[in-house]
Chains A and B, each alone.
Chain A
């Protein structure tokens, strides 16, 4: 192609894009924990409503909130509750309104260990000790005499923050904890390391053992099954959220949100492996 036609092509391309942005696209950004579920929701919904286009991006809960504040997304997927600091920036950006929070699913955080690991159960206190680096060897927990390798998540992960706040009670992870870029990476690493321990969504099943957890030293250990999580017996669980600018919460976006929280959307939650909302939180 010679120079002239190249310039012509470029001008054409640029010209067509300066035209106004077409409406009808819902942008969804945020948690990687939620992204597979969000994609499934988007796909099924678009199948039923072909005039709506939904675009899903991951990047972490923090990315989602940053995008919400910058108004570069309509919906923000979050695997943790929004923080007051983030509410403040949203208020500044949304002209005084706080972002609306919707609960969309329930998730249990499993503790992964290798299938070869003889340890059968752990308590919350022991978990705190392990992941802050105080307990360094499996033999202190009744396992083999081998050092514990910790697998954690990236800083940008809501899973990381949730675990730090609720299981470690705000204490730091041991600095030797390996930060893996995704829950699947944690799972894979633990599957290949017989002295490894990691955490992640209960949805990512295959490859490692999910340990039953004792809420405290005296109580029996509870498995991360649906019944236990929804019944709030399993101690490590959380809601998964979607946040939206109240000014945008109408029309197509509101319809999509209602669909997600209704029975149809919640059916898909089970398929992906999370736990559907109990009836009181659903959209009727």
Chain B
């Protein structure tokens, strides 16, 4: 706000501007409060968790007792979280990108269908996470899973129970709006000139989208994907009912296996541990690992977004 109008204040009578001072002070205080909260949380977690982290901690599959600080490890949880997030991405990115392409490139702006789709996307974003869990149980496990078992003629229940696939699909439905919105934003930011040029050269609309627009929008799509991943990595409520296990001897190998999870492990350690003081350090350490994972992803998304903004500003 370095406009010349501002410095004109110096020419007025030098009366102290109480209003601005208090207002700025108040809102500045609010900002400081928020930053303070963040600092307190992070500081506590790092201070208590860092001493307990070691390479062994990250790379061990816990044998015996995962409440025992000396022998515990979080490798299966890290892998479980990563695998379910990867499977989720495989489903959510194609559907989200295609929907965003339709909304930006094809949809007539005020047609009722477009409005309904937009409303549906907004609604999906606001659904509570536990309702997604219920949906996962009611639709994916009961309806589709048991249907698959019947169709494939399985004697015992294979797909009609909580599994990695259903948890990932539930998360995909949950993070769909994130991907759609991020992709839409990146598509809208591409200047029309590019599309016009491509059409002028004789390309069809579909070719323009696939060959010209989409590659430009790729960083934005990646941002959306990464934001979806970081959101899904931390969610526990949807997977609570659809696939997470308290303890598994092995790493999950099939889509119909259950899996362990970092977020759920934090929940277990905080509420089920037989000696809360003894497991305090490993609880904090697990939280730290989860935070590092989600922060790293968020950070990457922010950097990509900043770079893309600079590049597109230069273009348009």
Residue of B157, B250, B254, B271 with most chain A CB atoms under a 10 A cut-off:
B271
Q: Which of B130-167 contact A (CB under 8 A)?
A: 152, 154, 156-158, 160-162, 165
Contact with A along B63-85 (1 / 0, CB 8 A): 11111000000000000000000
Contact for B247 among A16, A21, A56, CB less than 8 A? A56
Q: How near does chain A come to B231, taking the closest CB pair, in angstroms?
A: 20
Contact A36 B67, beta carbon cutoff 8 Å: yes
Q: How near does chain A come to B273, taking the closest CB pair, in angstroms?
A: 5
Contact B64 A21, beta carbon cutoff 8 Å: no
Give the interface SS of chain A, mostly helix, strand, loop or mixed.
Answer: helix
Chain A CB within 8 A of B201 CB: no
Chain A CB within 8 A of B277 CB: yes
Chain A residues near B158 (CB-CB < 8 A): 21
Contact A72 B246, beta carbon cutoff 8 Å: no
Residue of A39, A40, A54, A206 with most chain B CB atoms under a 10 A cut-off:
A39
B: residues with CB less than 8 A from A are 63-67, 87, 90, 152, 154, 156-158, 160-162, 165, 245-250, 254-256, 258, 268, 270-278
Chain B residues near A6 (CB-CB < 8 A): 90
Given A40-B65, A70-B161, the answer on whether A16 and B246 have CB atoms closer than 8 Å is: no
Chain B CB within 8 A of A124 CB: no
Given A13-B255, A53-B250, A206-B277, the answer on whether A71 and B64 have CB atoms closer than 8 Å is: no
Given A18-B152, A207-B277, the answer on whether A57 and B157 have CB atoms closer than 8 Å is: no
Q: How near does chain B come to A117, taking the closest CB pair, in angstroms?
A: 19
Chain B residues near A39 (CB-CB < 8 A): 65-66, 247
Contact A13 B87, beta carbon cutoff 8 Å: yes
Whose C-beta in chain A lies nearest to the C-beta of B93? A6
Q: How near does chain B come to A36, taking the closest CB pair, in angstroms?
A: 7
Q: 23 A-B pairs, CB-CB below 8 angstroms?
A: A9-B90, A10-B90, A13-B255, A16-B254, A35-B247, A35-B272, A39-B66, A43-B249, A55-B245, A55-B249, A56-B247, A56-B248, A57-B246, A59-B246, A71-B156, A72-B157, A184-B271, A185-B272, A187-B276, A203-B274, A205-B274, A206-B277, A206-B278
Contact for B248 among A14, A16, A55, A59, CB less than 8 A? A55
The tally of residues in A whose CB lies under 8 Å from a CB in B reads: 42
Residue of B87, B154, B245 with most chain A CB atoms under a 10 A cut-off:
B245
Whose C-beta in chain B lies nearest to the C-beta of A6? B90
Given A16-B254, A70-B157, the answer on whether A32 and B272 have CB atoms closer than 8 Å is: yes
Chain B CB within 8 A of A280 CB: no
Chain B CB within 8 A of A218 CB: no
Contact with B along A20-41 (1 / 0, CB 8 A): 0100000000001001100110
Chain B CB within 8 A of A254 CB: no
Chain B residues near A36 (CB-CB < 8 A): 65, 67, 274
Chain B residues near A54 (CB-CB < 8 A): 249
Chain A residues near B273 (CB-CB < 8 A): 182, 184
Chain B residues near A181 (CB-CB < 8 A): 271-272
Instruction: Rank and list the top 4 A-B pairs by shortest CB-CB distance, nearest first.
Output: A72-B161, A17-B255, A182-B272, A181-B271
Chain B CB within 8 A of A105 CB: no
Q: How near does chain A come to B311, taking the closest CB pair, in angstroms?
A: 21
Q: What separation, in Å, do the CA atoms of A188 and B279 have in the docked complex?
A: 12
A: residues with CB less than 8 A from B are 6, 9-10, 13-14, 16-18, 21, 32, 35-36, 39-40, 42-43, 46, 53-59, 67, 70-72, 180-185, 187-188, 203-207, 273
Q: How near does chain A come to B144, taking the closest CB pair, in angstroms?
A: 14
Whose C-beta in chain A lies nearest to the C-beta of B66? A39
Chain B residues near A185 (CB-CB < 8 A): 270-272
Q: How near does chain A come to B209, taking the closest CB pair, in angstroms?
A: 14
Given A39-B65, A185-B271, A207-B277, the answer on whether A56 and B256 have CB atoms closer than 8 Å is: no
Contact B272 A58, beta carbon cutoff 8 Å: yes
Chain B residues near A56 (CB-CB < 8 A): 245-248
Chain B residues near A35 (CB-CB < 8 A): 246-247, 272
Chain A residues near B245 (CB-CB < 8 A): 55-57
Contact for A46 among B152, B249, B274, B275, CB less than 8 A? B249
Contact A42 B249, beta carbon cutoff 8 Å: yes
- Having A17-B256, A54-B249, A185-B271, one finds 12 other A-B pairs with CB under 8 Å, namely A13-B255, A14-B255, A42-B249, A56-B246, A57-B246, A57-B247, A59-B246, A70-B160, A184-B275, A203-B274, A204-B275, A206-B275
Q: How near does chain B come to A227, taking the closest CB pair, in angstroms?
A: 22
Q: What separation, in Å, do the CA atoms of A135 and B157 have in the docked complex?
A: 49
Q: What separation, in Å, do the CA atoms of A72 and B156 have in the docked complex?
A: 8
